[in-house]
Structure 1
Amino acid sequence: MFEVSYSEFVAIFQVILIDLILAGDNAIVVGMAAAGVAPEYRKKVILYGIGLAVIMRIIFAGITIQLLNIVGLALVGGLLLLWVCWKLYRDLRLEAEAQVALEAGGGGPATDVGDSSPVAQKTLRAAVIQVAIADISMSLDNVLAVAGAANNHMTALIIGLAFSVILMGIGATLIARLLQKHQWIGYVGLLLIVYVAAMMIWRGSNELLVLAGL
């Protein structure tokens, strides 16, 4: 009979809470990247994004101890995530400018999810690159947080990984659809991603300052 100790139950609970927060951020990135490509490519971007996130989490989970010994790694991850934020912001701005131009010409707003974007859509490759870089940064943050909460309980790590995949799949699909109708959601998501990046940069910078004795 499968039994779970109290400490393992607490670890699983903590891991799920962390995944609810961090997997949601990852889903926002994947969803925003998917919203910028042609409708027929969106499912591919979401699948690639989730697949890459799973691979990154498995790799990072296997070398957690080594990662914890690399001082300032969170700083690098945060800077990479800021680059992704800039690319996503640029896509949102171009989309908004093109929409204004379309409405000024009498075309009216496009509200259908399947409508073609009034601005040149990003390629599948560009979207996947954005998602991959974000996955590396966010998976690093996720694994470091989850590893601390799991406290060497492998069951908690496995459950956390499975739970995060489900959250990303549901969240990214929903966000990609909502962005086609309500562009303001993209800016809210962007602010959340910037916040995650800022926290990673703050934490990594403090680690370097401590190492330098400042």
Structure 2
Amino acid sequence: MFSLSSLMALLQVVLIDITLAGDNAVVVGLAVRRLEASQRRIAVLTGVGAAAVIRLALAVVATKMLAIIGLRFAGGLLLLWVCWKMYRELRRPDVHDEDGAPAPGALRSAIIRIIVADLSMSLDNVLAVAGAAGEHIWVLVSGLAISVILMAVAATVIARLLDRYRWIAWVGLLVVLGVAIELIVGGGHEVLEHVT
């Protein structure tokens, strides 16, 4: 189980996770930044739990997903929708009720944004991890667990920073928009190649 090749695969998976978890963490941080501390924890835990399920499901069919033309394009469009929702939220002032709590529905909205964004952004991560893990299933599962944990920890830190420094939210939005455009362009290119 712990052969040299499997340990090398695990090292590759950890490096991939560290590299790719940042984009997802920015999305989660942006989605939960206006929630109070207790709701923020709930949103992060729920979103990360959903991310774990999504990534596990994607990992099971990862190799077959490579053959689906247009999947990256569709993921980019989904992520573009998330960017639009975040942009609208960043443009309006913080919405709170009379007690100073976030507006009703904010928690549900944040969780939905986290799940949609993770669904659209996880494909690259899962495929990279599945490719690096090779035939070592325990490496694949460990890699997916590490990526989800990294995303949760980084998202909490990013959300705190966004509370203090609003301009970081705009930078984060640009990062997520860049990922969406990359997925749309790359996925669109695949579709065009297949059509022609």
Q: In the alignment, which residue of structure 1 is the partner of 2:122?
A: 139
Provide Cα deviations, 1:151-200, integer angstroms capped at 9, x if missing partner.
23223212211211221121111111111110111111111111211221
Do the aligned partners of 2:126 and 2:144 also contact (CA within 8 Å) in 1? Answer: no
2:4 maps to what in 1?
A: 5
| Distance in 2 separating the partners of 1:17 and 1:82 | 27
Alpha-carbon distance, 1:120 to partner: 5.2
Partner of 1:166: 149
Partner of 1:67 in structure 2?
A: 65
User: In the alignment, is the contact (CA less than 8 A) between 2:58 and 2:123 conserved in 1?
Assistant: yes
What is the match of residue 210 of structure 1? 193
Offset of residue 48 of structure 1: 0.8
Output aligned runs, 1:25-104, within 5 Å. Answer: 25-95=23-93
Once the two structures are TM-superposed, the CA of residue 38 in structure 1 deviates from its matched residue by 3.5
CA contact (8 A) 1:37 1:122 kept: no
Alpha-carbon offset, residue 138 of structure 1: 1.6
Structure 1 Cα separation of the partners of residues 144 and 19 of structure 2: 13
- Relative to 1, partners in 2 of residues 1:5 and 1:66: Cα closer, same or farther, differing over 3 Å? same
For structure 2, the residue ranges without an aligned partner over 5 or more in a row are none
Stretches of 4+ moved more than 6 A in 1?
A: none
**Identity percentage of aligned residues:** 48
Residue 181 of structure 2 corresponds to residue 198 of structure 1? yes
Secondary structure of the 2:173 match is helix
Q: Which residue of 2 aligns with 1:153?
A: 136
Q: CA deviation at 1:122?
A: 5.7
130-139 or 34-43, larger mean C-alpha shift: 34-43
**Which structure would you say has the larger Rg?**
1
Aligned-residue Cα RMSD (Å) equals 2.2
Q: Residues of 2 paired with 1:202 and 1:192: CA distance?
A: 15
Are the counterparts in 1 of residues 63 and 127 from structure 2 also a CA contact under 8 Å? no
1:75: how far off?
A: 0.4
Q: Which range moves more in the overlay, 119-128 or 81-90?
A: 119-128
TM-score normalised to structure 1 length = 0.82
Q: Any gaps of 5 or more consecutive residues in structure 1?
A: 99-114
Report the CA distance shift for 1:121/1:18 in structure 2 as closer, same or farther (over 3 A).
farther
TM-score (norm 2): 0.89
> Using the alignment, how far apart are the partners of 2:134 and 2:41 within structure 1?
35
Which amino acid in the other structure matches residue 62 of structure 2?
T
Within 1, Cα distance between the matches of 2:27 and 2:133? 25
- The residue number in structure 2 matching 1:125 is 108
Residues 88/14 of structure 1: CA separation in 2 closer, same or farther (3 Å cut) = same
How many residues align? The count is: 193
Give the Cα–Cα distance (whole angstroms) in 1 for the partners of residues 100 and 3 of structure 2.
51
The aligned residue for residue 13 of structure 2 is 15
